[in-house]
């Protein structure tokens, strides 16, 4: 799959001065737009739209220095509706306006073009299984929180602390299938997965039972799930398993993500420094 992703990256380079559609890139990568955006964000560490913006402004910077086109011509060439909009975006990346560069010269910043390759580190393998599940519910409490890539998420920590212990015990009594016990679930994530974008965070259980009237419920349709097991320091292990799934497992396996919640079951050590985790990702096979 990485070969197709790199072909999509080449498509971007060939059309920096044209309209670039994520749907076209996904077709080149032979996957869905939903999965391509998520995979790109995991591989590149930034949203697809941000990478394209940076590459355009990098190439535009070289044209500003060359002086062969007017600043307005360059602005229009790279998709900006006015010289003012171009100047604002240019300054945000390069730290200096295009007019100043044209008049006095300056050192500009560059976003290198990207390509991807699979790197196998160490001798460890990723433990996973594929599970077919009937429809179920996530029942518990829900909050809208910002996405945090590394370290503790303060909004989630505060939300969980505010859930009454008796509510958790009542929810846990409804757990009747894997993953068992109290779980966390992330749903309605922004396609870019950029730091600070928001998601629905659920703290509850997976069950076939009806939800009590005073608890929130998320209906999840039947489908295929990839289940990944991981152990290590807390909370880094939980965050690294997401990274490894998207940067290592998906590029080398015939699956792609599908819409649905990502469910995490965590068991902490007594001192809270280590965790055994099981991550459930909704997937579908890539058509042959």
Helix (H) or strand (E) segment spanning residue 139: strand 136-146
Q: Is the pTM for the entire model greater than 0.75?
A: no
Lowest mean pLDDT across 27-41, 84-98, 105-119: 105-119
The pLDDT value given to residue 106: 75
Residue bearing the bigger pLDDT, 173 or 194: 173
- The per-residue DSSP string of 252-283 comes to GSSEEE-SS-EEEEEEE-TTSSEEEEEEEEEE
> Residue 278 forms beta bridges with which residues?
229, 265
The structure tokens listed for 29 are 């990568």
The pLDDT value given to residue 288: 65
The pLDDT value given to residue 254: 78
Helix (H) or strand (E) segment spanning residue 197: none
The structure tokens listed for 90 are 């240019």
42 Cβ contact list (under 8 Å, min separation 6): 193, 242, 243, 246, 247
The pLDDT value given to residue 5: 87
pLDDT of 191 higher than 90: no
Q: Kindly list the structural domains of the chain, giving each domain's residue range(s) and its CATH number in brackets, ordered by start.
A: 2-104 (1.10.10.60), 127-285 (3.20.80.10)
Judge if the upstream peptide bond of residue 179 is cis by omega within 30 degrees of 0.
Answer: yes
């Amino acid at each position: 799959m990485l070969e197709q992703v790199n072909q999509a990256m080449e498509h971007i380079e060939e059309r920096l001065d044209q309209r670039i559609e994520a749907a076209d890139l996904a077709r080149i990568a032979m996957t869905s737009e939903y999965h391509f955006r998520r995979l790109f964000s995991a591989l590149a560490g930034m949203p697809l739209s941000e990478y394209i913006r940076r590459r355009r402004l990098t190439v535009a910077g070289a044209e500003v220095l060359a002086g062969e086109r007017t600043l307005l011509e360059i602005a229009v060439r790279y998709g900006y509706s006015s010289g003012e909009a171009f100047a604002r975006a240019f300054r945000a990346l390069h730290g200096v306006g295009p007019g100043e560069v044209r008049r006095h010269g300056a050192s500009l910043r560059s976003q290198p073009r990207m390509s991807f390759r699979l790197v196998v580190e160490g001798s460890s393998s990723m433990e996973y299984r594929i599970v077919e599940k009937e429809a179920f519910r996530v029942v518990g409490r829900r909050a809208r929180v910002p996405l945090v890539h590394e370290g503790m998420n303060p909004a989630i920590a505060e939300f969980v602390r505010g859930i009454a212990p008796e509510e958790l015990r009542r929810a846990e009594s409804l757990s009747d299938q894997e993953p068992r016990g109290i779980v966390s679930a992330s749903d309605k994530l922004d396609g870019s997965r950029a730091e600070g974008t928001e998601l629905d965070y659920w703290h509850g259980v997976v069950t076939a039972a009806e939800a009590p009237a005073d608890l929130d419920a998320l209906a999840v349709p039947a489908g295929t799930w990839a289940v990944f097991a991981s152990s290590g320091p807390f909370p880094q292990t939980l965050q690294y398993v997401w990274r490894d799934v998207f940067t290592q497992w998906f590029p080398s396996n015939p699956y792609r993500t599908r819409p649905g919640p990502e469910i995490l079951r965590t068991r902490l050590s007594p001192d809270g420094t280590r965790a055994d985790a099981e991550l459930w990702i909704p997937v579908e096979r890539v058509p042959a």
